[in-house]
Chains A and B, each alone.
Chain A
């Protein structure tokens, strides 16, 4: 290519395909002006300076100041060879490098660094980016709500001989990550929220897989009262023998939580509530994948009250529940005098519940003080031996529920609709 006389090293002309360094748009005609912008290599240092000889960039390995995150890499767990560690150049260019066995140390150190930066100069803790690879942990990482991002092909697992701990404690914003046991049984919930932070849990595109759990009864286990959001996540129990709670709350009072568009396999939602409100459980898919329910009167979505307070205004809609070994949806005011009040239970598809037992489980099961719910537009269908009713308002303590316009054809051996409640309204009617 010819050079411009007087412009040493420069080009006479640049067309769209001549260089990666100047980006051209338009063709120079009317309405399509030719615009040139510099295409900067993101690996280059922070500043471009204008000097006597032209533009120049700063050099040196310490000039990556444009990064707004801390990066962590791993050589991969020993049990897997090092096939699935972080690849170069990302491996040795990361801010923190772990050894594949104690990667919890490197990640925890990144959390500390993020918090140090946050406390010193930044309004929020910088994000922690986990490169592609399998991070083997020997102990829990307390994320303390610091934002955590993976490359999606980032797996956090327990190292070969490490077992009996939660992988992550108190994550806040977390995305593009996979968590699960790989080289040994984990025997604890992969994620636990046990210490409130200022950064509420918000999980998006996170995959959590487990082959069973230990002390903590949920794969995602909440023991706090912070609002949270879990969306676009896969929560899978691989044991295929019994349903276990995928999201579990322990006697909480959580406002405004949202569980949206997730996939649950062999895993349920169990909200053991004290006085929560305004939960949205929408557009999730549940597949029972086993013959044993969590416990007797549970289904794939369980709202269970423990105290003498009111839990109200939950929305449970658009969920697909198939092959539940027990009920489909359970709303139980409990024995403590609590009241589940005014829930929207709309447009759920509940099929093949009662996968075990005989004449014992319902598509939608109301019990205790379960009052004033609006139950409409649901399809309940099951020809399993365990199916009893499509909708079961099971107790006289269930007051003023509105159950209508549901498709309950072939939904149970006893009767499609059972109403033992007080002043239940079912006009204009359900398809029975």
Chain B
């Protein structure tokens, strides 16, 4: 560690500390009236530290449990890269604990990953999905309506045709045009001539 690298943190490391071992042996652990434990360094003890009223020294068992907790904490791999932090953020997201604070402490922009935003995104997706569903439903209904209208129209047309046919059937023979009259007269004449010829036979 070079001078000036960490201007506000001058770690208290002895020979063991430099080898990477924890240096908690000389710490004294206290607990407050609620049972919360905290550790106090030898330096502070040497300076004549006196615990607040109601704070008592922790039992060896409590001390062991606390140091174990610290050792476990120290042994865990911590997030180092942005990707690590993003993975962590997902983990935290699952736990529902993301907030502005965690975004800031990790230095990664989790704006779009916050629980609230995710809920909003999810809600937006759901809304969109529902909108599409609704649209499809409406389109289907509209189509059904159109088909039904067509069916009704078709039925009506068929009925109309039937009626027209019936009317047509009952309708008296139409008056012939002059040309048709001449043709008819000719036909009758021919038929009469034929009859005459038959009779003459």
Is the beta-carbon distance between B24 and A92 smaller than 8 angstroms? Answer: yes
Beta-carbon contact of A155 and B102 below 8 Å = yes
Alpha-carbon gap, A113 to B52, bound state (A): 9
Contacts of A59 in B (CB 8 A): 14-15
Q: Are B49 and A83 closer than 8 Å at their CB atoms?
A: no
Q: Does A238 contact B (CB under 8 A)?
A: yes
**What 0/1 pattern do residues 34 to 58 of B give for CB contact below 8 A with A?**
1011111111101111111001000
Is B3 located at the chain interface by the 8 A CB criterion? yes
Q: Mark A192-224, 1 if CB is under 8 A from B, else 0.
A: 000000000000000101010000000000000
Which residue of A has the minimal Cβ distance to B6?
A: A42
Interface positions of B from 72 to 111, Cβ below 8 Å from A: 72-74, 76, 78-79, 88, 92, 95, 97, 99-102, 104-107
B142 within 8 A of partner (CB): no
A99 touching B36, Cβ below 8 Å? yes
- Known contacts: A43-B10, A91-B74, A109-B51. The answer to whether A96 contacts B99 by CB under 8 A is no
Query: Looking at the complex, which one of A84, A91, A238 makes contact with B116 (CB distance below 8 Å)?
Result: A238
Q: Is B166 an interface residue (CB 8 A)?
A: no
CB contacts (< 8 Å) of B76 on chain A: these are 81-83
Contacts of A182 in B (CB 8 A): 97, 99, 101-102
Looking at B2, B26, B38, B72, the one whose CB has the most chain A CB atoms below 10 A away is B38
Q: Do the beta carbons of A157 and B70 come within 8 Å of each other?
A: no
User: What separation, in Å, do the CA atoms of A238 and B105 have in the docked complex?
Assistant: 16
**B contacts with A, residue count (CB < 8 A):** 65
Contact of B10 with A113 in the complex, beta carbons under 8 Å:
no
Residue B185 CB within 8 A of the other chain:
no
**What A residues does B3 contact at CB under 8 A?**
39-42
| A76: Cβ under 8 A from any B Cβ | yes
Bound state CA distance, A338 and B18, in angstroms?
A: 65
B38 touches A105 (CB 8 A): yes
- Asked whether A358 is an interface residue with its Cβ less than 8 Å from the other chain, the reply is no
Q: Which of B1-15 contact A (CB under 8 A)?
A: 1-3, 5-6, 8-15
Which size class do A's interface residues fall under? 35 or more
Interface-lining segment among A60-68, A277-285, A298-306, A319-327: A60-68
Specify which chain A residues have a CB less than 8 angstroms from the CB of B46 in the assembled complex.
62
Q: How far is the CA of A258 from the CA of B116 in the complex (A)?
A: 34
Contacts of B48 in A (CB 8 A): 116, 120
A85-108: contact bitstring with B at CB < 8 Å (1 yes, 0 no)? Answer: 101111111111111011011101
A157 to B158, CA, bound (A): 79
Distance in Å from the Cβ of B21 to the closest Cβ of chain A?
9
Interface contact B78-A87, CB-CB below 8 Å: yes
- Residue in B12, B95, B100 whose beta carbon sits within 8 Å of that of A79 in the complex: B95
Determine whether A376 belongs to the interface, using a CB cutoff of 8 Å to chain B.
no
Q: Is the CB of A93 within 8 A of B11?
A: yes
Query: B27's closest neighbor in chain A, by CB?
Result: A97
A426 at the interface (CB under 8 A from B): no
Determine if A102 and B99 form an interchain contact, defined as CB atoms under 8 angstroms apart.
Answer: no
Closest to B16 in A: A61
Residues of B within 8 A of A138 (CB): 34, 36
A69 at interface, CB cutoff 8 A: yes
Q: Does B148 belong to the interface (CB within 8 Å)?
A: no
Tell me whether A95 and B10 are in contact (CB under 8 A).
no
Interface of B is mostly: loop
Q: How far is the CA of A39 from the CA of B5 in the complex (A)?
A: 12
Is there an interface contact between A89 and B17, defined as CB atoms closer than 8 Å? yes
Q: Which residue of B lies closest to A92 (CB)?
A: B22
Find chain A residues with CB under 8 A from B20 CB. 88-89
Residues of A within 8 A of B18 (CB): 43
Q: Which of A41, A71, A80, A106 contacts B38 (CB 8 A)?
A: A106
B8 — which chain A residues lie within 8 A by C-beta?
69, 129, 149, 151
Contact for A96 among B38, B72, B97, B101, CB less than 8 A:
B38
Beta-carbon contact of B73 and A85 below 8 Å: yes
A91 touches B70 (CB 8 A): yes
Could you say which of A20, A75, A95, A112 contacts B43, with CB atoms under 8 Å apart? Answer: A95
- CB of B99 within 8 A of CB of A109, answer no
> Whose C-beta in chain A lies nearest to the C-beta of B46?
A62
Asked if A209 and B11 sit within 8 Å, CB to CB, the answer is no
The verdict on A181 contacting chain B, using a C-beta distance below 8 Å, is yes
A89 to chain B, nearest CB (A): 5
Residues of A within 8 A of B5 (CB): 42
A371 close to chain B: CB less than 8 A: no
Chain A residues lying within 8 Å of B72, measured Cβ to Cβ, are 82
- Contact B97–A70 (Cβ < 8 Å): no
**Counting CB contacts under 8 A, is B165 at the interface?**
no
The yes or no answer to B23 lying at the interface (CB within 8 A) is yes
Residues of B within 8 A of A113 (CB): 44, 47, 49
16 contacts between A and B (CB under 8 A): A43-B12, A61-B16, A67-B12, A83-B78, A92-B70, A94-B41, A95-B43, A95-B44, A96-B38, A102-B32, A105-B34, A112-B52, A178-B105, A183-B97, A207-B101, A240-B116
Known: A83-B78, A211-B99. 19 other contacts (CB 8 A): A61-B12, A61-B14, A62-B46, A75-B69, A81-B76, A82-B72, A92-B70, A93-B13, A95-B41, A95-B43, A97-B38, A104-B36, A105-B32, A113-B49, A138-B34, A155-B101, A182-B99, A236-B100, A238-B114
Closest 9 A/B residue pairs (Cβ): A102-B36, A180-B101, A61-B14, A97-B39, A209-B100, A106-B38, A75-B73, A82-B73, A64-B12
Question: What is B's interface to A at a CB cutoff of 8 Å?
Answer: 1-3, 5-6, 8-18, 20, 22-24, 26-27, 30, 32, 34, 36-44, 46-52, 55, 66, 69-70, 72-74, 76, 78-79, 88, 92, 95, 97, 99-102, 104-107, 114, 116
